[in-house]
Amino acid sequence: MTDRTLHFPLPDEYEDAELRARVAAAYQAVPTADPAQVERCARAVLAAAMHAPAERRTGVVSPRWWWGVAAAAVLVVMTSRPWRPELARNEADSAFTASRPITEPRGATVEERGDVTRFDLVLPTEAEEVALVGDFNGWDENATPMVRRAGNTTWSARVPLPPGRHIYAFVVDGRRWLVDPLAPQVPDAGYGPTNALIVDGTN
Amino acid sequence: MTDAELVVRTRAGEPDAFGTLVGRYYDACWRFAYHMLGERADAEDVVQETFLRAYLAIGRYDERDQFRGWLFRILTNQCRNAQTSRGRRTKRFIQDELAIESAPAPPPGLATGVEDAAIVRALAQLDPLQREALLLKYAEGLEYSEMSAMTGAGESALKMRVKRGSERLRALLGTLHD
């Protein structure tokens, strides 16, 4: 079987010369537009375009407004890292403390999932052991030892705490009681200063 | 200053450059739109919409094309859109048709200076695609290849539209004369 190309001739160019002349004459008979009409058109176009400026060619890709929004969203997500809140908090804390050498203790509390509260303490000097004491463990120095985290001056402890108000303090090397000077404190009832913490239980 | 230079300036944010292009091509667009739509006010609207769309899409204009051809591509589309929306309008207010038919010549909206009102009327009664092809061929003097690029129709189809349109136009002119 052989392929055979079938040719369909294009219709010849039909032209009605008389009609062509008449249409062209009618076309040309339309007077040029009034200059005011042209100006009205140009003004209307430019006024409408004020709200939607002409596209400008800037190479293969042209900037879009949502690029900035997307970049900002990525930056926020990468900075806050919602999937690891404790990491973000740690880094924020360490960034804060790393900016200058600390001269006094600095603590932080973070409510984690499952009613667990994490206590952090950064000391200006090294310590052998640190414990967390409070109304939740009967002020027992041996009940909640803190764990050394980064280096020898940062300590952490995780304690399950029910929603409510709790007061606490830190014990360094079994003898020195101290508080976080930047955290809320309760009046000294004769046993030394203590910090106060409200657990709202929303996590 | 050439069209290409004016386009470059428009892209650079000089609105006056586009104003010059409007002044340069307004008449050509206006004539075509008027003969396509047969109505002065509609033609004015369509031309304005054409220039607005051209301005907004100026970033997509390819310098290898002639600006006039590119503009007419937008214009022919806008004329088709106007005819479609007018078709809906006429269907809605069908009772007005009788008033239009019984109105004395020239029909409302006829541009001043038009002496051959018969041809304008006859053109208005043609199938829109035939009218478009006839105007681009007879009045604008375009080649079929140019018409094809502008309208998106094949050259054979365009040749057929010109032929059929011419025959129909002759018939309509004969009827109008009688």
A55 touching chain B per CB within 8 A: yes
How distant is the Cα of B81 from the closest Cα of chain A, in angstroms?
A: 19
Q: What local confidence, expressed as pLDDT, does residue A32 receive?
A: 77
pLDDT at residue B102 is higher than 50? no
Chain B residue numbers with beta carbons less than 8 Å from the beta carbon of A54 are: 10-11, 13, 18, 55-56, 58-59
* Mean pLDDT, residues A86-112: 63
pLDDT at residue A61 is higher than 50? no
Cα Rg, chain A, nearest whole Å: 39
Q: What local confidence, expressed as pLDDT, does residue B29 receive?
A: 93
pLDDT at residue A79 is higher than 50? yes
* Mean pLDDT, residues B99-128: 62
* Mean pLDDT, residues B117-144: 87
* Mean pLDDT, residues A89-113: 65
A49 touching chain B per CB within 8 A: yes
Q: Which residue has the higher pLDDT, B108 or A23?
A: A23
Q: Which residue has the higher pLDDT, B87 or B151?
A: B151
ipTM of this complex: 0.71
* Mean pLDDT, residues A27-43: 81
Q: pTM (2 decimals)?
A: 0.52
User: Are the beta carbons of A46 and B19 separated by less than 8 Å?
Assistant: yes
Distance, in Å, from the CA atom of B165 to the CA atom of A142, rounded to the nearest integer, reads: 103
Q: Which residue has the higher pLDDT, B114 or B164?
A: B164
* Mean pLDDT, residues B50-64: 87
The three state secondary structure string of B150-169 is: HHCCCHHHHHHHHHHHHHHH
A188 touching chain B per CB within 8 A: no
Reference A166, options A115, A93, A105, A92; nearest CA is: A115
Q: Which residue has the higher pLDDT, A71 or B110?
A: A71
pLDDT at residue A7 is higher than 80? no
Q: What local confidence, expressed as pLDDT, does residue B98 receive?
A: 41
Q: What local confidence, expressed as pLDDT, does residue B73 receive?
A: 92
Distance, in Å, from the CA atom of B43 to the CA atom of A20, rounded to the nearest integer, reads: 22
A32 touching chain B per CB within 8 A: yes
User: Are the beta carbons of B163 and A11 separated by less than 8 Å?
Assistant: yes
pLDDT at residue B78 is higher than 90? yes
Q: What local confidence, expressed as pLDDT, does residue A31 receive?
A: 72
A62 touching chain B per CB within 8 A: yes
pLDDT band per the 50, 70, 90 thresholds, residue A35: confident
Q: What percentage of residues in chain B have a pLDDT greater than 90?
A: 23
A34 touching chain B per CB within 8 A: no
* Mean pLDDT, residues A167-184: 84
Q: What local confidence, expressed as pLDDT, does residue B175 receive?
A: 67
pLDDT at residue B76 is higher than 90? yes
Ranges A7-16, A50-59, A120-129, B100-109, most confident: A120-129
Q: What local confidence, expressed as pLDDT, does residue A5 receive?
A: 47
Q: What local confidence, expressed as pLDDT, does residue A125 receive?
A: 84
Cα of A11 vs its chain's centroid, Å: 67
Please name the amino acid found at residue B109.
Answer: G
Nearest CB neighbour to B19, from listed A25, A30, A42: A42
* Mean pLDDT, residues A112-124: 85
User: Are the beta carbons of B22 and A16 separated by less than 8 Å?
Assistant: no
Output the average pLDDT for chain A. Answer: 74
* Mean pLDDT, residues A159-172: 88
The owner of tokens 């998106």 is B152
* Mean pLDDT, residues B138-150: 89
Distance, in Å, from the CA atom of B162 to the CA atom of B142, rounded to the nearest integer, reads: 12
